[in-house]
Structure 1
Amino acid sequence: MRRLIALAALPLLSAAPVRAPRIVSINPCIDAVLMHVADPSQIVGISHYSQDPRATSIPLAQAMQFTATSGTAEEVVALAPDVVMSGPHVAPATIAALKRMRIRLVQYPVPDSVTESEEQVRDIARIAGHAPRGQALARRIASAARPMTETQVPALIWQSGGLVPGAGTLPDELLSRAGFRNMSAVYGLKKWDVLPLEYLIARPPRVLLSVGAAEVGEDRLTAHPAVRRLAQRIAIAPYPSRLMNCGGPTIVAAMARLRRIRKGMGA
């Protein structure tokens, strides 16, 4: 009995703390989420696109603090991650190498809605070991994207080459939440489709969001003489391409830009 009492009196050994996983991201949109939900020491690799001023969705100075890879098997495995996070498309050689090394690969589709993006944010944070941070970021996204009640203004997002996001895309939902009505359906366009210049001129929206013009002053489309003439009748607003490519925290910046444009349109 004395021996049992003595053993019971011994202090319990605390369990060793669980080490936060080392993460390599090979997708710039996931990079942007990790900057908010993971510790910097966990992020052992990011996509090289995040260090490209034309493609990054995070501040360039911040991105340059991390090792960047092009997503090849050799580069990723050399960083000895516990988990690799990517978009839907990964080179077969990289997938095979990760399987051989028993490194976990988590792939995320391109989000088509605010809700889907919030779910991805929470899942990325959970895997990183910081679920509360994911919940906080998801709430911030939901707050930024709350729908406006004003009358919707006809608008169109027009990318280089005439590519237009239609119904069922994240940009389409953001337009609606910011007080715009996406004109894509009026032209009979699909989810992602090309709108010829002639159709745009024949039936223009009230506001044209020109993707790419913000980076270079004007792009090929807005420089066209017909579009210059159209600008005398409608509003043409630059829309940074970085706001087109990702969900997650990019939604916050995208909604801020769209709301400013909508406010300038009046009632």
Structure 2
Amino acid sequence: MARAIGAATCLMTVSAAPVPVPVPGTLRIVSINPCIDAILMRIADPAEIAGISHYSQDARASSIPLDLARRFHATSGTAEEVVALRPDLVLSGPHVAPSTIAALKRMKIRLVQYPVPDSVDESVAQVREMAAAIGHADRGARLAGAITAAARPVAGAKVPALIWQGGGLVPGAGTLSDDLLARSGFRNMSAAYGLKKWDVLPLEYLVARPPRVLLSVGTAEAGGDRLARHPAVRRLGERITVAPYPARLMNCGGPTIVAAMARLRTVREGLGR
């Protein structure tokens, strides 16, 4: 399935026939992806949301406030759970169990899948498309505008930086994180280590050639990540800026971009010019 860059970001829909624009408030919507949940909370009426992903009710994975997420019924995305909610529309990420897809086809329930956005522009297009699909294009336009404003590129020199998360995993070129770094005044050092789009940077390489700023995902969480607590990383903090970067800012695009950009700008401004 091909993906259009910077345009429509919908991967697949079970219904092949043209779909009319729904009347706002008439759909029962089930989301089975936590990133979709985060967008849906901003563009749909609560009464339209019949179910969300169980990940959104897990503090380790949620990109939305837990008190908000726990107001909604959650599923693990199985065919039985989803169909039992009698949805008119199911929204998901790119990966859905074949059994769930087959069940939705049999029940003639429309499924729309969205890819993981690799840039702010892709995420904005996805928000607009999703909002139009549920009959709230105006809300999608407002959310898209807020994301675009928050992600406006800053002027000035780019500071070498790296986002380093659990097990040494690093987002490289062509990822949303890479785009956010550039927009907030950083230069992603991933390519300097010869890393791929998503790759692992061994601790030894990090210590031997550290960036000026290390955004450590593990240090922001309760208990932190084992590598982030390594003595070598603590010593590294005496030479460079090691700043916590909450894992919830890594999980999704959509409204999460606003919070991620605010955090990155804060770190960048703390370095001076």
User: Structure 2 counterpart of 1:158, which letter?
Assistant: W
> Of 219, 227, 240, which aligns to 2:225?
219
Shift of 1:217: 5.2
* Structure 1 residue 150 corresponds to structure 2 residue 156: yes
- Listed as ranges, the matches of 1:181-196 within 5 Å are 181-196=187-202
> Of 118, 121, 127, which aligns to 2:127?
121
SS in 1 for 2:30: strand
* Structure 1 residue 266 corresponds to structure 2 residue 262: no
1:99 aligns with 105
Shift of 1:163: 0.5
* 1:30-88: CA deviation from partner (whole Å, max 9, x where unpaired): 00001110000000000000000111000100000000000000000000000000000
Higher CA-based Rg: 1
1:70 aligns with 76
Identity, in percent, stands at: 74
Mapped partners of 1:138, 1:205: distance in 2: 32
* Structure 1 residue 135 corresponds to structure 2 residue 141: yes
Mapped partners of 1:28, 1:195: distance in 2: 27
TM-score by length of 1: 0.92
> Of 206, 211, 231, which aligns to 1:205?
211
Mapped partners of 2:90, 2:224: distance in 1: 37
2:249 aligns with 243
User: Structure 1 counterpart of 2:136, which letter?
Assistant: H
Mapped partners of 2:155, 2:87: distance in 1: 46
User: Structure 1 counterpart of 2:151, which letter?
Assistant: A
SS in 2 for 1:77: helix
SS in 2 for 1:154: strand
Mapped partners of 2:262, 2:161: distance in 1: 16
Shift of 1:19: 5.3
TM-score by length of 2: 0.90
User: Structure 2 counterpart of 1:128, which letter?
Assistant: I
Shift of 1:221: 1.4
Mapped partners of 2:239, 2:25: distance in 1: 60
Q: Is the 8 A contact 2:249 2:257 kept in 1?
A: yes
Q: Which has the higher helix share?
A: 1
Shift of 1:212: 2.4
Mapped partners of 1:216, 1:115: distance in 2: 32
What's the RMSD between the two structures over aligned residues? 1.0
1:49 aligns with 55
- After superposition, the Cα gap between the structure-2 partners of 1:151 and 1:141, relative to the gap in structure 1 and judged at 3 Å, is same
- Which of structure 1's runs of 4+ aligned residues deviate more than 3 A? none
Mapped partners of 1:227, 1:167: distance in 2: 24
Mapped partners of 1:61, 1:142: distance in 2: 27
Matched length: 251
* 1:82-114: CA deviation from partner (whole Å, max 9, x where unpaired): 000000000010000000000000000000010
- After superposition, the Cα gap between the structure-2 partners of 1:264 and 1:92, relative to the gap in structure 1 and judged at 3 Å, is same
Shift of 1:123: 1.0
Shift of 1:115: 0.5
User: Structure 2 counterpart of 1:94, which letter?
Assistant: T
Task: Give unmatched runs, 5+ long, in structure 1.
Answer: 1-16
> Of 6, 20, 23, which aligns to 2:26?
20
User: Structure 1 counterpart of 2:55, which letter?
Assistant: Y
- After superposition, the Cα gap between the structure-2 partners of 1:67 and 1:194, relative to the gap in structure 1 and judged at 3 Å, is same
Mapped partners of 1:145, 1:18: distance in 2: 29
